Amino acid sequence: MHKDLVLRGSPIIMSRVLAGLTFLFFLFNATPGWSHRVLIYAWPEGNTIHTESKFVPGGAVRNGEVKVLDNKTDQLLVTGKTDAQGKFSFAIPPQALAQKMDLRIVLEAAMGHKAEWLLKAQNYLPGTGDSKPSAAPAGPSTDSQVAAPSGSSPAPLDRQTLEQIVDQALDRKLAPIMEMLAQSQTHKPSLPEIIGGIGYILGIWGVAAYFKSKRNKVS
Amino acid sequence: MHISEGVLSPPVLLAGAGLAVLGTATGLKKMDYESIPRVAILSSAFFVASLIHVPVGPSSVHLVLNGLLGLLLGWAAIPAILVALFLQALLFQFGGLTVLGVNTVIMALPALMSYYLCRPLVRRKGVVALVGAFTAGASAVLLGALLVGVALVTTGQAFLKAAQLVVLAHIPIMIIEGLVTVFIFVFLQKVKPEVLKGIYA
């Protein structure tokens, strides 16, 4: 009798329970602790580095703690917290630019979740391999260069300024692509993998059964 | 409830691994030949349960099923959980190989608890059995969450704060887990009572 009761009443109960649970979620606005893997990725745009943190599967990491360290010396450069979208951006620290540090960006989310992303120096330094970092911002120098040709003959822009202009434009254009590339690292479990996993588990227990059966025969 | 790699200190990792090895050995010893297919199926169920995420509100939830495993398998739940977690770590980088022991203990200790505390209830008839099944599902999630809190204390997080956060976050899933455990129990009783043979033995 009880069994019937549970089985028949279940859809209504379940839908009510789900509604109640949704309410609970909004009430607590809790970090999703049941998500299993946490990821952080970073990409540069001009003088800023953007990071985004995610639970996979799940969603944005809210209020996660982000630490930026020098990969070689573990020196702490920047700390911050992720916003509601799991994003956190910071200006590239001057000492990182000067010493061409590889940046290790560490995310510590709640409940023992932790992730890292290594941003190599050559990926964010302006003008790769250039001996002169962009100490002088491109703005004024281009102005003077652009102003000059308007006077008389069109003097060619000097090499370095041109490079800086191209770098800036490329940074702007490439930032969304960098973000997409970084995002493509987030990998949800696919159906073939899940089915493969089940196969492995059954296989492992099959092997166990084999050894148990051998022992049974011996004894 | 998988703790990521690189969060815990080596002593904690070693302690977790040691406990997991002991538990697995005991589980394998207590497991008889006939129960292996049951262990295999429940091991796969545990493996899949935490991969299927159901969106609820702004977030998503998944089942854990460790209470059910404890109820149905007893000590054999430990090797079942270990195998499932091992493959989750290998295929999906959930948790990791160094934290495998700790994560196994976090999931398997509540399973043992539901075996010892809830199985006597489930053996009885009527509402008591249903309450037992619900308690097994819900309390296993709660205890798992608390164990995560305990493991994190060793990293220097204040226990009360960590535990509070973990437990609060798991209240909805405790309720769902309890209901689903009742569901599966009732379903098995009707359709495949021989699976429950272990309980009444």
Residues in Cβ contact with A29 at an 8 Å cutoff, skipping those fewer than 6 apart: B58
Measure CB to CB from residue A21 to each of B91, B162, B176 and give the nearest one: B176
* A206 CA: distance to closest CA in chain B (Å): 8
Of B172, B61, B168, which Cα lies nearest the Cα of A58?
Answer: B61
Sheet with A48-56: strands ordered across = A37-45, A48-56, A87-91
- Per-residue burial over A122-140, b if 16 or more Cβ lie within 10 Å, else e, is eebbbeeeeeeebeeebee
Tell me the per-residue pLDDT of A55-71, one tens digit each, with 9 for 90 and over: 776 677 777 888 888 88
Q: Which of A10-14, A60-64, B182-186 has the lowest mean pLDDT?
A: A10-14
Separation CA B38–CA B27 (nearest Å): 14
Tell me the per-residue pLDDT of B32-88, one tens digit each, with 9 for 90 and over: 888 898 899 999 999 988 887 766 555 566 788 999 999 999 999 999 999 999 998
Does any CB of chain A come closer than 8 Å to the CB of residue B162?
yes
What does the pLDDT read at residue B91?
85
Mean pLDDT of the region A21-37: 48
Question: Does position B2 have pLDDT exceeding 50, yes or no?
Answer: yes
Contact residues on chain B for A3, CB-CB shorter than 8 A: 186, 189-190
- Model's pTM, two decimal places? 0.70
| Farthest CA pair distance, chain A | 104
What does the pLDDT read at residue B110?
94
Question: Does position B108 have pLDDT exceeding 90, yes or no?
Answer: yes
| ipTM of the complex in this document | 0.79
Question: Does position A136 have pLDDT exceeding 90, yes or no?
Answer: no
Q: How confident is the model at residue A8 (pLDDT cuts 50, 70, 90)?
A: very low
Contact residues on chain B for A36, CB-CB shorter than 8 A: 2, 50, 88, 92, 94-95
* Interface contact flag, B190 A57, Cβ < 8 Å: no
Does any CB of chain A come closer than 8 Å to the CB of residue B40?
yes
Separation CA A55–CA A49 (nearest Å): 20
Does any CB of chain A come closer than 8 Å to the CB of residue B119?
no
What does the pLDDT read at residue A26?
44
* Interface contact flag, A114 B176, Cβ < 8 Å: no
* A97 CA: distance to closest CA in chain B (Å): 28
Residues in Cβ contact with B148 at an 8 Å cutoff, skipping those fewer than 6 apart: A33, A111, A112, B1, B3, B106, B162, B166
Is A33 in a helix, a strand, or coil? coil
